[in-house]
Amino acid sequence: MINIDSNHENKCLPSRQVGHDGVIVIAIVGYRNADDVASCVAALSRGAQKNFLISICENGGREAYRDLIFALKKLVEPVNSAPKILDDRIADIWSGRLLQGNQRIRIYRAKSNIGYAGGVNICIRQIDPAEPWSALWVLNPDTEPDPNALTALAARARECGYGMVASRLVVTSTQRVQSYGGRWRPLMARGFNIGGGAPRDAVPDVAEIEASMMYVPGSSMFVTREYVEGVGFLDERYFLYCEEVDWCFRRGYRRIGYAHNSIVYHSVGTTIGSNFDPKKRSTLSVYLDERNKLLFTRRFYPAHYPLAIVTTLLLTLQYLESGAVKNFFVALSGWCAGLRGEEGPPRWFVRRLASQEA
């Protein structure tokens, strides 16, 4: 386990890891939300930083793959050549170039739903070994980055030598801050959004944020090539939720930072149903959220695990208090799965996908 206080000594130490010439690979994992992905790509095409390559992994099957290609037709010109398949979980690859900027864009159709971490890992594995890339920017498909967002991230990583950098996440509907960065609360087995609810244009103490940060939220993670190659891939055993926290907790000596001028607007929950309203959250979102908190705690806070079992059980009662009776039982089922140590996609979810594809 990393020293959770290691970021308290964050000082800007310039780094050559994120150069001006290296391509930045932008990874997006979609699941039957073509319109969201298209809006994200449109926002990226308006960005000030032009040296990037967009890699999209579609987890939603053949029809979703076709829908995504169709949704991007006004933004992308198709090209005849396609990169070689380097990950055998890929069924198809579609290639194109942005009409505005001529940047390369690739869409990978996964043979099955391999989860968020699996989709990001495909985007990493598909980077050509000869590609002079400098960093990876992982974005949720339901985000729309400000034109200067990527420039600010790369500058912060380069100027301070950070291995991973967070953006100012702003909830699109409320125009308030969702998060500056994340802090894990081990006794509750829950994350805490630093700055959550603050006005969009509030001016926080960046040094204080970086001193208290323990992880970079997965909606916008800027990761240097050195970090990726040194720490390795995201852990796919979570399938969804906590994998970005796990990735940060495995960083060792590498430091994480925050770029306040990198603004990313987030619609929150359109991808997987992780809505703010407990009644509207999807079954998969509720189940994995509860399960993975226990998996993560067992790995990184084993001394806190017995108490976390009790507190997480009590916290599932919040669904009952809000009238979300169905999701209470789903949360309870996810909690039990966490106790059993279940990993990967839930069996009931796999069966559901199989029945839909039959």
What would the pLDDT profile of 87-106 be if each residue is shown by its tens digit?
999 999 999 999 999 999 99
Query: Is residue 60 over pLDDT 70?
Result: yes
- pLDDT band at residue 129 under the 50/70/90 scheme: very high
∠ Cα 27 227 239 (to 5°): 50
Q: Tell me how far apart the alpha carbons of residues 156 and 150 are, in angstroms, rounded to a whole number.
A: 10
Q: Give the pLDDT score at 150.
A: 98
* Phi and psi angles of residue 158, each rounded to the nearest 5 degrees, phi first: -70, -45
Q: Give the pLDDT score at 2.
A: 43
Q: Tell me how far apart the alpha carbons of residues 314 and 99 are, in angstroms, rounded to a whole number.
A: 52
Query: What's the mean pLDDT in 190-213?
Result: 98
Query: Is residue 23 over pLDDT 80?
Result: yes
Residue span(s) of the chain under CATH 3.90.550.60 come to 6-266
Query: What's the mean pLDDT in 106-124?
Result: 97
Q: Give the pLDDT score at 354.
A: 76
Q: Give the pLDDT score at 235.
A: 98
Q: Give the pLDDT score at 3.
A: 47
Poorest-pLDDT segment among 1-10, 68-77, 113-122: 1-10
Residue with tokens 């993975």: 292
Q: Cα 247 to the chain's mean position, in Å?
A: 11
Residue of 54, 58, 71, 55 whose CA lies nearest to 30: 58
∠ Cα 150 220 165 (to 5°): 70
Whole-model pTM over 0.75: yes
- CATH number corresponding to 6-266: 3.90.550.60
- pLDDT band at residue 7 under the 50/70/90 scheme: low
Residue of 348, 331, 266 whose CA lies nearest to 292: 331
Query: What's the mean pLDDT in 160-166?
Result: 98
Q: Give the pLDDT score at 271.
A: 52
Query: Is residue 8 over pLDDT 80?
Result: no
Query: What's the mean pLDDT in 151-170?
Result: 97
To the nearest whole number, what is the mean pLDDT of the chain?
Answer: 93
Query: Is residue 308 over pLDDT 80?
Result: yes
Amino acid, res. 103: Q
Q: Give the pLDDT score at 81.
A: 86
CB neighbours (10 Å) of residue 263? Answer: 21
Say if residues 250 and 223 touch (Cβ distance below 8 Å): no
| Tokens read off for 7 | 């970021």
Query: Is residue 288 over pLDDT 80?
Result: yes
Q: Give the pLDDT score at 270.
A: 55
Q: Tell me how far apart the alpha carbons of residues 213 and 4 are, in angstroms, rounded to a whole number.
A: 9
